[in-house]
Amino acid sequence: GAVVSQHPSRVICKSGTSVKIECRSLDFQATTMFWYRQFPKKSLMLMATSNEGSKATYEQGVEKDKFLINHASLTLSTLTVTSAHPEDSSFYICSASTATDSYEQYFGPGTRLTVT
Amino acid sequence: AQSVTQPDIHITVSEGASLELRCNYSYGATPYLFWYVQSPGQGLQLLLKYFSGDTLVQGIKGFEAEFKRSQSSFNLRKPSVHWSDAAEYFCAVAHTGGFKTIFGAGTRLFVKA
């Protein structure tokens, strides 16, 4: 149980285009979802926290207009990187938690974004 | 402010040897503590967690961790390492006032034959 999927697993896009990453909780309802960014050989950096049906809460230094987060249902959150630039290339990981086990997060497998 | 410190950037152990990965945290109250493992290019898998109760926590894959309040530590141990344990290990602390989880910088484990 508690499986989280991400799609796509890898994506290459051209500079200036937008790319959407999906995060789905497959067998549970995720009241809260998190988006992290991980640089090579580095730890996870929390980008934003989203609750179903409400606006995401972004961490300091994360541009909300660049990284659009939508949490439209209890099983789906999306991260859209708008007007991508090479410096946006990174490994993006989502996680989800439930109302009954709110301090434990279930992680997706990650999405490798490369902007050329 | 909360913080998590993993003093060792990388550790190399021989297969079959014991392992201890260090983790220290800074937090005002009793934290919720986690250890995760990440294989290259993969997401994170939960090894074990501590919320309350017995300070020695058993996890998956033969791992255990001990919460020591006096030392603000939550070190991960395994009595006999297998080659498949080679990965990145992250210690994390959850904010009890919300959902935010702070991750340590990670420790890369190398296992030599």
pLDDT, residue A78, reads 95
Residue A100 pLDDT grade (very low, low, confident, very high; cuts 50, 70, 90) = low
Task: Please give the residue of chain B at the shortest CA–CA distance from A58.
Answer: B100
Contacts of A84 (CB under 8 A, 6+ apart): A13, A14, A15, A16, A17, A18, A19, A113, A115
pLDDT, residue B99, reads 65
Residue A90, pLDDT > 80, answer: yes
pLDDT, residue A99, reads 65
A81 contacts chain B (CB < 8 A): no
Cross-chain Cβ contact A104/B49 below 8 Å: yes
Each residue of A69-85: pLDDT tens digit? Answer: 998 889 999 999 999 99
Residue to test with chain A: of B99, B107, B108, most A Cβ within 10 A: B99
Residue B97, pLDDT > 80, answer: no
Q: How far apart are CA A114 and CA B55, in angstroms?
A: 43
pLDDT, residue A31, reads 85
A68 contacts chain B (CB < 8 A): no
